[in-house]
Amino acid sequence: MIDWLRRLWAAFESTVSPRHFYQLSGRWLPWFAWPAALLISVGLVWGLGIAPADYQQGNSYRIIFIHVPAASLAMGGYLLLAICGAITLIWRVKTAEMVAKAAAPVGALFCLMALITGSLWGKPTWGTYWVWDARLTSMLILLFLYLGVMALQNAFEEVSQGSKAAALLAVVGVVNLPIIKYSVEWWNTLHQGSTFRITERPTMPPEMYLPLLVMFLGLYALFASLILLRSRQEILQRERRSQWVRQLIEEPNQ
């Protein structure tokens, strides 16, 4: 039994090794990048140009086609950081460190995008760009958590020490995610509740939620593409002294 578990663990380690992940990500990347370009193009044209205006908010509601998927990705990106952080702290898998290093700036970018588009939406809806609303404040805290993770990743000369410190913050900071999600239910806030849920029938008409669904799929595919691309770059940087990386660099020059 123990030998079987050891062989299983060895197979797992080889699967998540930087070299194997680099090879797999190279095959996965086109399957995310091309659909991302197509879906985002269709979603933007459909949502910004074809979908009808809202009977209350007029055309200002169209910002949701960017804002809502960006906010979802900001939360999903941090959850990815927390998962990679737990794997780093418990099993010390180097690839998890590299994926976390690649994901942090991408997640922070989507979080900033959600805050900016939310402010642009808030001006015509609430009459102001910003209020210290529970949802907005917790999203701002999420951006600070992203920045803290990125700072810790680069604060130590020893890469592994920075990765562990950042992993710990990512795991602790995940408590902010349910606060963001349920803030509109726990507190009396200006921010409206969710109008689009995968497990429930949307409250929006099909001509509005279908382009939103397309944008969700497109931006999630873009997120995956950016993570894979940055992870590959991080692997080459961290493993540049490895024989397989040197061979990979030498092959195109032969």
Residue type, 41: S
Q: Confirm whether 31 is domain-assigned.
A: no
Work out the average pLDDT over 127-136: 85
Residue type, 141: I
Residue 244 pLDDT: 87
Q: Confirm whether 252 is domain-assigned.
A: no
Decide: 227 and 106 in contact? Cβ < 8 Å.
Answer: yes
Decide: 36 and 218 in contact? Cβ < 8 Å.
Answer: yes
Average pLDDT score, the chain: 88
Residue 2 pLDDT: 67
pTM over 0.95, yes/no:
no
Bridge partners for 54 per DSSP: 58
Distances (CA, A) of 37 to 44, 109, 114, 210, 211: 11, 18, 20, 17, 15
Q: Confirm whether 179 is domain-assigned.
A: yes
Q: pLDDT grade, residue 193 (50/70/90)?
A: low
Q: How many domains does the chain have?
A: 1
Q: pLDDT grade, residue 233 (50/70/90)?
A: very high
Exposed e or buried b per residue across 9-46, where buried means at least 16 C-beta atoms within 10 angstroms of its C-beta: eeeeeeebbbbebbeebeeebeebbebbeebbebbbeb
Range of the domain at 104: 66-240
Instruction: Tell me the two tokens of residue 232.
Output: 């590959």
Rounded to 10 degrees, the C-alpha dihedral 169/170/171/174 comes to: 120
Q: pLDDT grade, residue 200 (50/70/90)?
A: low
Instruction: Please check the confidence at residue 14 and state whether its pLDDT lies above 70.
Output: no
Q: Confirm whether 25 is domain-assigned.
A: no
Residue 252 pLDDT: 60
Q: Confirm whether 11 is domain-assigned.
A: no
Instruction: Please check the confidence at residue 192 and state whether its pLDDT lies above 80.
Output: no
Report the share of the chain in percent with pLDDT over 70: 87
Q: Confirm whether 54 is domain-assigned.
A: no
Instruction: Please check the confidence at residue 166 and state whether its pLDDT lies above 90.
Output: yes
Instruction: Please check the confidence at residue 190 and state whether its pLDDT lies above 60.
Output: no
Query: Using CA atoms, how far apart are residues 103 and 164, in angstroms rounded to an integer?
Result: 15
Residue of 191, 210, 211, 248 lying closest to 71 (CA atoms)? 191
More confident residue, 50 or 124: 50
Q: Confirm whether 107 is domain-assigned.
A: yes
Decide: 156 and 162 in contact? Cβ < 8 Å.
Answer: yes
Residue 177 pLDDT: 96
Residue 10 pLDDT: 63
Q: Say which residue the tokens 């002294």 belong to.
A: 241
Residue 253 pLDDT: 56
